[in-house]
Amino acid sequence: MRDHSEETRHVYHQQHLRVSQDSTTMERFISMFTLEYFGLEPGYFQKKRVLDAGCGDTAKLIIALYRLGARDISAFDLGEDFIPVVRANLDRYGVPQELVRVASGNILSIPFSDQEFDFVACHGVMVHLNTYAEVERGFAELARVTKPGGLLYTVLGEEGGLWRDCLYPALRKYYLENEAFRGFVDKTTPEDIARTIDFVEEKMRELEGSDVNLSFLKPLLDLDLLVTLQNICQAPVRIPVSEKQHIGMYLDNGFETPQRLRRFIKRKNIRRYFAPLHYHYDHPLSRLLYGGGCLEFIARKKGDGRHTPDRDTF
């Protein structure tokens, strides 16, 4: 089995560097996490120890947790290249450095102690491991560092659908095989897109004699969308996980009553017109496009924190 972890980390490091430089995209990411979304009462994060497992470079979840009241935050990811970018983003978004521990680590061997955190988050990381067995190992590690009575929040991508089962693999295959498409995905900027729109507009006027204005398209094809295309094409592996498997991992690791979460993501690019379908994943067209929808769950670990459960139960 080939280990894709270093390649995956490099891919996302480059993507996150782009995102970090765009305040609109950063704010979109940060705004995804709210108390309402998590189903938590105001003040929940005060005096809680929280962990962002696989934080990446953007620090988006760290910033969001700070805005929600967390003041004791830990985070880790592979290697060390991400750390200066995380630290710079914390400064940029007003998060005091002394409130955040940032470490180099692997989700298959989390560099923190058993039952250390009240709230553990792992957003979109485990689907990029090498095998489903590694997903199970990573989940067990997340459970290990969660306190009894604590919460574990995980996102494992979409379950089936046209995009994940057909279009993602096709785009990835073409990206690997076609140099021109690979160059487009890797290097195209919003300014390149804007110039292309100007070219099309000019040629439509010349060839059709029409007074056409296509400037409305420019904000719909922004950096956020281009990085999404990179995410689809560049990620070396995506492990398929079903809702049943996702829930099963919670139950097998000592959690009770996993709750599926849902959020409406406000976008400014062309994906805003698909956002209602992405949110209402029971709509017939949504089921066709997105299958069972995005697997986003939260659950409480059994116990009240006053005793230490047997480590073998994880």
pLDDT band at 311 (very low <50, low <70, confident <90, very high): very low
Band of pLDDT at residue 2, cut at 50, 70 and 90: confident
- Predicted confidence at residue 1, as pLDDT, reads 67
Residue 265 DSSP SS3: coil
pLDDT digits (tens, 9 = 90+) for 26-81: 999 999 999 999 999 999 999 999 999 999 999 999 999 999 999 999 999 999 99
| pTM: predicted TM-score of the whole model, two decimal places | 0.92
What's the CATH superfamily of 5-159+237-265+293-313?
Answer: Vaccinia Virus protein VP39 (3.40.50.150)
pLDDT for the residue 80 = 94
Instruction: List the domain boundaries for the chain.
Output: 5-159+237-265+293-313
Backbone dihedral angles phi then psi of residue 306, each to the nearest 5 degrees: -90, -5
Sheet with 294-301: strands ordered across: 100-104, 72-77, 49-53, 117-123, 146-158, 294-301, 255-260
